[in-house]
Structure 1
């Protein structure tokens, strides 16, 4: 039986798991309950050996407008999902727990905390007209959570420039700094999905888990650690 989510939709098609942001009336702004639902879905994805790739998409004209600030200030305004555990964790951290390839299909604007979704995915493909914006500085705050995720893919100097610029920027700029990997083209997306059809899920999970572990392992010990992982797979 599928979990009845409030803010997201999910479906499985063969080896592909679709995770869909489904709060278009609020521009897919995420709440604490949304984060718990996504964390629960990711746990199910990790446990299902029939899934080798995840596709993240969104309903409506805006991919994600970031945090729903009202619900984070007053969680009584949120609709907590009683069918799943409630967790207190950053959306960015949730995506570090996904141990399978993921593809963000971006067809609408990405604003503020919405960056956490795309920066948490292995691949990001966007329509040419999509725009990106970090407006936090104009609101008297700083995009702290997004900054941490940006540092995974963008040089530090450019991260600061992106955080200080509150204007919209284009897919072209997002491509140039590595936030986006390519334009959304149906044929190319399907080819990538097909490549994972026969992937060994144990190998995929070992690779993703290892790259997370490497961050906390001293350089001189990384190769011996990876040899141990390889020996286990053998």
Structure 2
């Protein structure tokens, strides 16, 4: 059943990942996280996909982590199986090669907001609410709500949500930079697709490289991004072809620095 919890489909150059647990407002549990990781792998491997949208089925984008999924875990399991695994999946989203847009068509709270933060852009329908309510039940944001969110929105905005318990309406979130666009109820997906089309029309390799460079500047990636950029450059050179060809022929390579 896990494969049905999160789906990946392609619409031309746009990939669409959809969380499909509407009866729980797409709250995340371990099977959902596993299915999301699989869908992200599918999106990464889809060569013709240039932009990826992340959506939620039904009335909610994502209500965060399902309390029933972790409340009975031991401290050790909570740390490793829940927090660390969630980080791995969210980092996978943040480091996807394609630009990503979260389509916030329903309330986006706790882990749901952390999931949206892992995307490059956020389109919010006007009726939604956003916040980090975790401390109200005695826990803390555990999937980069105090790290990636601070880097992207600033510490004071995150303080207001995580410490002060403020929940922002979409227009307030827009003014604070938490979302990038606000659109009317029911039009979020169409708005995101239109924006994705504009992004997809740009040079795909240049867009991917720019995303990597921004991630380095932001502190999202460093070592891996540097090696990816350098390796991609080297892969286009004659020296690589000469080296590989010589290796296969068991000969000494003749490099030309071209």
TM-score by length of 1: 0.79
- Measured after TM superposition, the shift of residue 173 of structure 1 is 1.8
State the match for 1:28 in structure 2: 26
The alpha-carbon distance between structure 1 residues 167 and 47, as it changes in their structure 2 partners (threshold 3 A), is same
State the match for 2:209 in structure 1: 206
- Measured after TM superposition, the shift of residue 15 of structure 1 is 0.6
* Pick aligned residue for 2:133 from 123, 132, 135: 135
Unaligned 5+ segments in structure 2 are 74-83, 238-258
**Contact persistence 2:2–2:35 (CA under 8 A):** no
Report matched runs for 1:158-173 at 5 Å. Answer: 158-173=157-172
Unaligned 5+ segments in structure 1 are 76-86
- Measured after TM superposition, the shift of residue 96 of structure 1 is 2.1
State the match for 1:120 in structure 2: 118
> What do residues 114-163 of structure 1 show as CA deviations (whole Å, max 9, x unaligned)?
01221111111111111113221110122243122211211223322221
- Measured after TM superposition, the shift of residue 227 of structure 1 is 9.0
**Larger relative contact order (Cα-Cα within 8 Å, sequence gap ≥ 6):** 1
The alpha-carbon distance between structure 1 residues 176 and 193, as it changes in their structure 2 partners (threshold 3 A), is same
Q: 2:196 matched to 1:193?
A: yes
The alpha-carbon distance between structure 1 residues 4 and 120, as it changes in their structure 2 partners (threshold 3 A), is same
State the match for 2:60 in structure 1: 62
TM-score by length of 2: 0.72
CA distance in 1, matches of 2:229, 2:4: 43
The alpha-carbon distance between structure 1 residues 203 and 142, as it changes in their structure 2 partners (threshold 3 A), is same
3-state SS, counterpart of residue 8 of structure 2? strand
